[in-house]
Structure 1
Amino acid sequence: MNNHVPPVADEREGLLAFLAQQRRVLRNAVHGLTDEQARLVPTESALSVGGLIKHVAHAEKGWMDTILRRDVRGTMAEREARHLAQFHLAPDETVADVLSFYAEVARETEEIIAGIPDLGRPVPVPKGVPWFPSDVDAWSVRWVLFHLIEETARHAGHADIIREHVDGATAFALMAAVEGWPETPWLKPWKPPGTTAAHRH
């Protein structure tokens, strides 16, 4: 069961394991949804479940670009346009596309972090970006991993709320469905509409 991260041997394994666990939780939020449902914006916010997964995948890739100092900056207008586009599934994008991209990003993150011996290695703060601090010269790889856990967990919570508004499915019922947990008196795994009502927990 993936509701808890298993014991870890060291800091690196722990950081990557907690990040992977939050990715799984976020991916669960789209389980069983059609592409149209994944685009729905059922709350006062402008967020959709599919858009959140797309955004977090691009954010994680962006942080790996920063660690490796890959130059993908462009003009500020281009950066802002890319950032805004990350929150929505384009008409030609599907849930499968976004999940596949997120899986590729996760694999690359694992490879990059495995190749960095010292998690204290400096990660220079990109200059001239309004959402980055101007009074900090560098983070560390360790800091970036903590931040990615924070970012993914925050948006996983957003996705849980939005998914519940879409069809009533909740996080533990979805996790139980994805992982094939047996039904218990306190939790019924989510099932598609028409088979049984989703259990609220």
Structure 2
Amino acid sequence: MDANARPVADERDGLLTFLAQQRRVLKTAAYGLTPEQLRATPSASALSVGGLLKHVTFTERGWTDTIARKPRSVSVEDYGAEFRLTPEETLESLTAGYDEVAAYTDEVVAGIADLDEPVPVPDEPWFPKDITHWSVRWVLLHLIEEACRHAGHADIVRESIDGATAYELLAGAEGWEPTPWLRPWRPSASA
């Protein structure tokens, strides 16, 4: 596999494929991290790779619940807590949760006949009051935007932790063969 999204058949397939590809990139930023590194905030921000995984999972579940017309209630406190890991949260539990919400999103979107179907704007203080709905298409594009933004954050945090970069992490996580331009990431002997 390479770092690109696979060829797509149509718009729906394209949106879900690019969302899946960005999920993959974000999860790869966590590849090989210790529990301490997963929680580390080595850059100027308070973001950790684990906190970013938790946030995108929370955000995607909320939007997919909104598409599916399931009730959702988010407070400002919830928003801040979704970036912080609890002691029992692990890399395995975070990636499993993200995989679970990905399957949920795929299932809900598969059941939508038309990507123009309206999705109500949540009644939360950070959303505009002059718009009543977006479309499923808009929500999928927004989820791609969220995953991309936070994959970039995770890349910076990860590189600040141990110098590992996205392509070498993908190569290590997926077992790519070394090439003259790319050596797959491996944990250091001291780790």
The TM-score with structure 2 as length reference comes to: 0.97
Say if 1:2 and 1:21, in contact at 8 Å, map to a contact too.
Answer: no
Cα distance between partner residues in 2 of 1:85 and 1:165? 23
Q: What amino acid is the match of 1:58?
A: F
What are the superposed Cα offsets for residues 106-137 of structure 1, whole Å, 9 maximum, x if unpaired? 0100100001111100001123x121111111
Q: Which of structures 1 and 2 has the larger relative contact order (alpha carbons within 8 angstroms, sep 6+)?
A: 2
Structure 1 unmatched runs, 5+: 196-201
Cα distance between partner residues in 1 of 2:13 and 2:39? 34
Instruction: Indicate the residue corresponding to 2:67 in structure 1.
Output: 67
- What is the number of residues matched between the two proteins? 191
Cα distance between partner residues in 2 of 1:51 and 1:2? 26
Of residues 133, 144, 147, the one that matches 1:149 is 144
Cα distance between partner residues in 1 of 2:156 and 2:122? 33
Q: Does 1:119 align with 2:115?
A: yes
Instruction: Indicate the residue corresponding to 2:171 in structure 1.
Output: 176
Q: What amino acid is the match of 2:41?
A: V
Q: CA deviation at 1:48?
A: 0.2
Q: CA deviation at 1:33?
A: 0.5
> What secondary structure does 1:102 align onto?
helix
Instruction: Indicate the residue corresponding to 1:198 in structure 2.
Output: none
Cα distance between partner residues in 2 of 1:2 and 1:20? 14
Taking structure 1 as reference, are residues 6 and 114 closer, same or farther at Cα in structure 2, changes over 3 Å only? Answer: same
Q: CA deviation at 1:96?
A: 0.9
Q: CA deviation at 1:68?
A: 1.6
Give the share of equivalent positions with the same residue, in percent: 58
Say if 2:66 and 2:72, in contact at 8 Å, map to a contact too.
Answer: no
Structure 2 unmatched runs, 5+: none
Cα RMSD after superposing both structures? 1.4
> What secondary structure does 2:109 align onto?
helix
Q: CA deviation at 1:138?
A: 0.6
Q: CA deviation at 1:171?
A: 0.3
